[in-house]
Structures are given as structure tokens and as C-alpha cells.
Structure 1
Amino acid sequence: MKIAKKIKAGALQYVLVISVIIAIIIFAFISLVYLQQKMTIKHGFTKEAIANVQMSFEYLKQKNIDYNTETTLNFSEDENEKEYKTTTILKKHWGIFDLGVATSKVKNEFFQKVALLGTQNKKRDALYLKENNASLVLVGKTKITGTVSIPKQGVKTGNIAGVSYYGNQLIYGLEKTSSAQLPKIKNIEFLKDFIKNYYTESTTYFELEDGLKVHQSFKENTLLFEDVNPIQLRNINLNGNILIVSKQTITVQASAKLEDVILIAPKIIIEENTIGNFQVIATKQIKVKSNVNLHYPSALILLDQDKEVQKQAQNNIQNREINQIEIQENTDIRGILVYESENKQSNYDAQIKIAEKVQITGEVYCAKNTELQGTIYGSVFTNNFIIKKSGRVYVNHIYNGVINAKELPNQYAGLQINQFSNQVAKWVD
């Protein structure tokens, strides 16, 4: 005879609780595994999108694409993947530099990067002096290091006010013969049009005010402030995709913090002790006062559009304003200086004037006369050198100037000369 045993209700509840706990643990484990797999796939898509953007900029190094036209790239060999993988590259102008925008989407993962672009040349020359049927004359502590292209008359030593040349040799590098034309800047015609037609459909107006702080992404519309009157930039912080335009003068004071913006005016003055990273485009005059520090990649561009010799110049009136870029003492500029002129007449003024104790790391391009008493780590392209001392004008003389192409960093990307824009100069937002 079998005897039935009763199981206590508490024991059943205990078993049930244990079963539920086990089920929850199993469910949590399965969910975790699923989530990890999903995150792994998501992470893989994100990594692929980032890699595609990087490859897009590598593509730009090798290929010259049209401006303002989105180019679709395909880095996958599987035709079926094209349905959920798209990568595009867009190139636009931003002053003397270009702007590259690379975008990649893999499934639902999206990645985009924007960069200022310039031209990189690892075999950069120190000097290109246009053939002008005159020797290059070195005086004082002048020293030129790197390959040079100079007139067929060559280079020699000189004497100014009793000061001779102190170097052990004339050129510390290879000498070549230049031609009667300076190398052309490929996007100079765009700049000439840009200063007149800077407003586009993707431009939005804004107002300047004391204490203003604005960051405008290059993925958004360009912000524009323009005025027919002089503009004083002080106690403001402007960063990114911003244009400031005056029909007269723009003055940048040390209290203004500018990053990546462009300034356009006939005359632009950068006051003492200013620190920033921006582009300046003028048509009459650019004056950079002492102790200014402009970080890479900055640019000072003067597009002199006076086709006729000014009457003041013809009459030799004293204290007249000269269309020039003037860099005063103890200033450090990292980037580009350009003076371009439609006036073909000769003169005895300095169109780019670089004072003592000035250091420029980058490129100096002058379609007329350059006065060099400071130091340039990089390249100089010029029609002539000129110096005024002791009441006399010395043509094609360099007095205490230093040019050293070997001190320019290999990563430097600048003027579009002999090549198209292809190298990242700076990542921007």
C-alpha cells in the first residue's frame, strides 16, 4: 500500500522563485549577447564610415575634383553593399584655401569631417625671383638656405651704408635660372571675384555687438556681417564659417578672438598684441602692427586693382599711402602673404614690407617689390626685392633678410602653385 506525501506550499513557492530567477538570468544573458552583437555591428559600421571619410581625403590628394559638385565615391568591391553604403566628397572655396567636406553613411551610422585644404610640396624651393635682367644682391646678415630660381645674372654681394655681406657663401643650396613670369596662383581669379560676389544663397546675415560669442559650423550657412562704414572688431569671439565685410576699413583689436573667419575690406589693420587664426583680403592696404601672432593657417592677401599709376605716385607726394602689406616688428605669422596687382607699372615702393624681428612660417608671394629684413621659414616668390636706406633706393637687394625653406614643416599646406589643392591644412567643425 503506497503512502502519499504532501509537499509543503512553501517548498513549491521556493521552486517557483528559483525558476523565475533562472529564467530572468537566462533572458538577461540572451539580451546581453544580443545587445553586444548589435553594438559590435553598430561599432563596425561606425568604424567603416570613419574609414571611408579618411579615404575620401586620401582620394583628394590624388584627384582634382570640381568645385561645388558632390562626388560619390565607392570603396567597396561588393555591388550589393552600395544599397546601404554611401560616401561623398565636396570641395568648396574658403578664401585662399579650399574646404573639403567628406560624408559617409553605412546603414544608420553617419560620419562627416570638414577640413581646410592647401597644396603640399615636399620639394619646396626657398626663392623664386623673376627674371628682371638684374643680379640678386645680398647685404649684411642675409642668408638664403634651399633651392633658388634667380635671374641669369646670378647673385653677388653688395654694400649699403658701409655694411657688407657677412656670409661664408652666397646661396646655401642649388641655383637655377628663373623665367620672366612668376608661377601662377591657381585660385587667384576666384579671389578677385569673391571680394565682389561674396554673398550666396547659403549666406545668412547676423549683427555684431559688444561681447558677442559665435561659433558657426562649416556644415551650416555662412554668417555675414557687412557695413558701408568702418568696422571695429573688439571684445568679441568669432569662430568658423563667418564673413566680415566693410566698404572702408576693418580694425582688429587685441580683445577680438577670431578663428577661421574671413575679413574683406579695402583697408585692414591688425592692432598690436592680436592673437588669432583668420584670413584677411584687402584691395588697398593691410597693416599688421607689432607683437601680433597669427596661427597657421592664416592668410594676408592684398588684391591691388589700381590699373593706373596713382597721381600721388607720379608727383612723388610725401606721406602718401602706399598699397602694400606692412608687417611690423616682433610679429609671428604662420601661413600665407600674397600681393597681386593688375598694375604693370614699375615703382620704387615695397608692396610687401617685412620689418626686422618678424618671423613668417609659410609662403610670401609678391607680384611687385618685397622688402625683407625679417625671417621667412618657407618660400618667397617675388618680382623684385627693394630696400630704402640712407636716402637711397636699392633694387634687388636683401638687407639682413633670412629665407630658409628647410625649416618649413613637411605638413605645411599652402598656395595652389603648380598643383591643385589636396592636403589637409586644418580640421575644422
Structure 2
Amino acid sequence: MNFFQKIKAGALQYVLVISVVIAIIIFAFISLVYLQQRMNIKYQFTKDAINNVQMGFDIFKQKKITYNTETPINFSDNTETVTTLIKKHWGIFDLAIVNSKVKNEFFQKVGLLGFQSSKRDALFLQDNNNALVLVGKTKIIGDASLPKRGVKSGNIAGESYYGNELIYGTIKASTSSLPKIKNIKYVKDFYKNYQSSGMESFELEIGLKLYQSFTENTLIYESINSIVLEDISLRGNIIIVSKTAITIKPSAILEDVIIMAPRINIEKNTTGNFQAFANKLIKVEANCTLNYPSALILLEDENQSSTSNSNNQQLKPIDDVPIAIAENSEIKGFVIYHSEIKTLNYKAQIQIEASVLIKGEVYCSKNLELQGTVFGTVYTNNFLVKKSGRIYINSLYNGVINSKEIPIQYAGLLINDSNSVAKWMN
């Protein structure tokens, strides 16, 4: 047998091709295993970063964090893990930013913070030595803090109270002052001195579409003249200020922004999500929807002249009510009237008309006229009813307050220290 016979070139090529294919398969398999390992490591780092961010937001619930300062937190002994917490003010809310970096993986979340409670009362009525009088289709569902004189049924213009019970919940004793909004001093200072370092000016124009992240500098537009917001889209870290008045038309898209002016008028059929600050007038016309978490805040200036408290005072039109909310409007968030002026009067500072729905909280340091419905909590110094040419103090006529209808996830006014995320901002 001849062991040295020639092998055909085609067979050698065939062997060579098979060898190359096998090499490619082996290389691909090794690469796949390596890539899979890298992906697993990357996934673990990303997962760790996400978990660190979530634990960071839990820290905001448990302890106080200094404003405008990067606070480092260590959740592990890994020196290549860096997590920082930042807390800022954003209007009446707190803004929380948590960053986490694990090796080369980075994760960040931004959220608005509010107070969250597993059990909310329906009503806190300040004790002014007057009983609460319920008339008509009024209904209070949930626990209520009331004056020592308690609650009773009454009669207005020949109409009595129709309920089977006075309070559909537990009655507790209130005090001679309302619960304090913990950040109200900052809110008042912010309204007067809203400018801060790092703000950037921009120009308003018809058709403008603008988004600004809360991790970037705040954009601000200021004018001494009245401002009309229409055919415009503003979202995020943006403040609009007028020294005169601001009108918001239904063609304006506003989300998470802050609006500031002595007088603010929200025209009928407007939909949005924003905070509105004023010191003279906030008017919400019919059929408006302000999505959660919105806020209407009127801070009465101590220099403003007080209204006469004469019993013969002539009734004023709705435009004279500091905060007036017209029929069929829905507000998800806060409605706040705050004043340090102790002089009482016989006019409503907040007027909520029939068929209005508030999902959240109403806080009034003077007189509240409630004809609509509040799913949440009402804090007020007094109720007031204007009917048939007469004024009834501490009477509630056809108003509904139901704390059972507010979602457990709702995060509202900073009255206690238990912070929770009201809305994710990115």
C-alpha cells in the first residue's frame, strides 16, 4: 500500500473550510459566553443602581435631608458605588433627586414629595366657639375634628338637613388654630423672592414648545405687564411671573410649571397640571380640569385692606372672592387660602360652587363657602353660606366631604413629616 499517495486539493480545501467554520463557531461561542457574562454584570450593576435609588427615596420618608445640598448615602461596602440625595423646593412641594452610580452604570429619578397618610380625616374645623350647622344634602364621611360646641342640624330658607347621621365617622375635638402647613413660611418667602442663582431667562412666543428637566437650571419668564398664555406648551422646570395678571387659555398646555401673579384667571375648558400662586385673585372658570398634583395658592398680603365685617355688607360678585371655582370644574391637588390677618369678615375667601369636585385638600384660614364636593380633607376657620340675601356663619349647605374616596397613594400638604412621592418627574 502506498502511504504517500497525493491527496486531492479539493479535499484539503474542504478540511480547511471545516476548520475555519469550527473556529468561527468556537469564537462565537466564547464571545457569546463573554457577552452574556458582561450583560449579567451590567444587569446586576444596573439593578443595584435602581435599588439604591429606591432606597434613597425611602430615606426621604425616614429622615430630614438638608435642602440644596448633595447628601451621600452608602448602602453597601462597595467603594465603586456612589449614591447621592438632593432635596429642593418646587413651589409648595419638595423636589427629590436621587442619583446612583455603580461602576459605569448610572440611574436617576426625580420626584415631587408630599405628605402621605394611611388614614386621613374628612374635616378640621377650627374652634371659634360656634357649633357646625349642617343643612340640606350636606354629607361628611370620615373622622372630623370639631369645636367643643359640636355639630347640629339647621334650617336655611326653609330647607332642613336630610342626613340620617350628622357625621359619618368619629368626632374629635379641634383646637383654636388650624394645623400648620410646615413649609408655609418658605412658600410665602418664595412668592416674594422667587429669583435664585442659576435661573435662565427665556422668551414667550405663540407656538412655543418647551421642556426643561428638573436636573437643569430653572427657566423663568418675567413681565411687569399682563401675560396671556395661549397656543403654547410649557413642561417641567419653568416659572412664569407677571407683576399684574396672568390669563390661562384652554389652548395652553402647562405641565408641572409654576405660575405667579397677583391675579390669575383660568378660562373655561382649560386642562393642565401646574401650581398657581397669587395674592389677590385666583378664578377658575367652568369646566376646567387641573390634574394631580396641581395647587391653587392665594397668600393674602398683610398690607391688603381688610373687608368690613358689617352684618349689612352687600353681597359681592364672584370676582371679589379671592379663590373662586366655577361649576363642573375638577381639581386634583390643593386649594389653599392663607392669611396671617386675624380680622374676620362676612365674605368667603374660597368659594367652591355646586358640581365642583376637589380630589385632595382644601385649606382656608378664613371663610369657606363649599357647595361642591371634596374627596379628601377640608381644613377651615369657618364655613359660610350666602342664601336668600342672608349670611350664615359656620353653616354647611349641600356640601360634601368624603375622606374615604381619596386614594391611599395620594401625597398632599406637608402637615406631617411622612414624605412620599406625589409624582415622578422623569
Q: TM-score, normalised by structure 1?
A: 0.95
Q: For residues 3-402 of structure 1, what are the structure 2 equivalents within 5 Å?
A: 4-76=4-76, 79=77, 81-82=78-79, 84-307=80-303, 309-310=305-306, 322=320, 324-402=322-400
Segment drifting more, 64-73 vs 236-245: 64-73
Measure the CA separation in 2 of the matches of 1:12 and 1:234. Answer: 79
Going from structure 1 to structure 2, the CA distance change for 1:313 and 1:395 (only over 3 Å counts) comes to: closer
Per-residue CA distance 1:199-243 (angstroms, 9 max, x = gap):
222211111111111111111111111100000000011111110
Gap runs ≥5 in structure 2: none
Segment drifting more, 365-374 vs 62-71: 62-71
- Asked if structure 2 preserves the Cα contact closer than 8 Å seen for 1:252 and 1:271, the reply is yes
Task: Please identify runs of 4+ aligned residues in structure 1 that moved more than 6 A.
Answer: 311-315
Measure the CA separation in 2 of the matches of 1:226 and 1:176. Answer: 47
Going from structure 1 to structure 2, the CA distance change for 1:252 and 1:388 (only over 3 Å counts) comes to: same
Measure the CA separation in 2 of the matches of 1:122 and 1:92. Answer: 25
Q: 1:89: how far off?
A: 1.2
Question: Aligned letter for 1:69?
Answer: T
Segment drifting more, 6-15 vs 217-226: 6-15
- Asked if structure 1 preserves the Cα contact closer than 8 Å seen for 2:309 and 2:344, the reply is no
Measure the CA separation in 1 of the matches of 2:61 and 2:272. Answer: 28
Q: 1:6: how far off?
A: 1.9
Measure the CA separation in 1 of the matches of 2:418 and 2:186. Answer: 14
Q: 1:381: how far off?
A: 0.5
Q: 1:318: how far off?
A: 7.3
Q: 1:94: how far off?
A: 0.7
Measure the CA separation in 2 of the matches of 1:403 and 1:256. Answer: 31
Going from structure 1 to structure 2, the CA distance change for 1:249 and 1:10 (only over 3 Å counts) comes to: same
Measure the CA separation in 2 of the matches of 1:261 and 1:302. Answer: 17
- Asked if structure 2 preserves the Cα contact closer than 8 Å seen for 1:116 and 1:427, the reply is yes
Measure the CA separation in 2 of the matches of 1:31 and 1:209. Answer: 54
Question: Aligned letter for 1:46?
Answer: T
Measure the CA separation in 1 of the matches of 2:33 and 2:83. Answer: 31
Measure the CA separation in 2 of the matches of 1:4 and 1:428. Answer: 79
Q: 1:15: how far off?
A: 1.9
Per-residue CA distance 1:316-375 (angstroms, 9 max, x = gap):
687586361111111111100110012211100100110000010100000000001000
Going from structure 1 to structure 2, the CA distance change for 1:102 and 1:3 (only over 3 Å counts) comes to: closer
- Asked if structure 1 preserves the Cα contact closer than 8 Å seen for 2:308 and 2:345, the reply is no
Question: Aligned letter for 1:119?
Answer: F
Question: Aligned letter for 2:421?
Answer: V
Measure the CA separation in 2 of the matches of 1:4 and 1:124. Answer: 97
Question: Aligned letter for 2:424?
Answer: W
Instruction: Give the corresponding residue for 1:426.
Output: 423
- Asked if structure 2 preserves the Cα contact closer than 8 Å seen for 1:309 and 1:343, the reply is no
Question: Aligned letter for 1:12?
Answer: L
Question: Aligned letter for 2:255?
Answer: E
Gap runs ≥5 in structure 1: none
Measure the CA separation in 2 of the matches of 1:263 and 1:303. Answer: 14
Question: Aligned letter for 1:426?
Answer: K
Instruction: Give the corresponding residue for 1:412.
Output: 410
Question: Aligned letter for 2:386?
Answer: K
Question: Aligned letter for 2:194?
Answer: Y
Measure the CA separation in 2 of the matches of 1:61 and 1:322. Answer: 40
Question: Aligned letter for 1:249?
Answer: A
Q: 1:8: how far off?
A: 2.5
- Asked if structure 2 preserves the Cα contact closer than 8 Å seen for 1:185 and 1:416, the reply is yes
Per-residue CA distance 1:360-408 (angstroms, 9 max, x = gap):
0100000000001000011010000111111111000001000011111
- Asked if structure 1 preserves the Cα contact closer than 8 Å seen for 2:321 and 2:351, the reply is no
Question: Aligned letter for 1:148?
Answer: A
Query: Which secondary structure state, in structure 2, belongs to the residue aligned with residue 195 of structure 1?
Result: helix
Percent identity among equivalent residues?
A: 62
Measure the CA separation in 1 of the matches of 2:2 and 2:396. Answer: 121
Q: 1:97: how far off?
A: 1.0
Query: Which secondary structure state, in structure 1, belongs to the residue aligned with residue 320 of structure 2?
Result: coil
Question: Aligned letter for 1:67?
Answer: Y
Query: Which secondary structure state, in structure 1, belongs to the residue aligned with residue 362 of structure 2?
Result: strand
Question: Aligned letter for 1:412?
Answer: Y
Per-residue CA distance 1:253-289 (angstroms, 9 max, x = gap):
0111111101011010100000111110111110001
Measure the CA separation in 2 of the matches of 1:422 and 1:331. Answer: 28
Segment drifting more, 238-247 vs 25-34: 25-34
Measure the CA separation in 1 of the matches of 2:389 and 2:7. Answer: 120
Query: Which secondary structure state, in structure 1, belongs to the residue aligned with residue 261 of structure 2?
Result: strand
Q: 1:75: how far off?
A: 1.4
Going from structure 1 to structure 2, the CA distance change for 1:127 and 1:291 (only over 3 Å counts) comes to: same
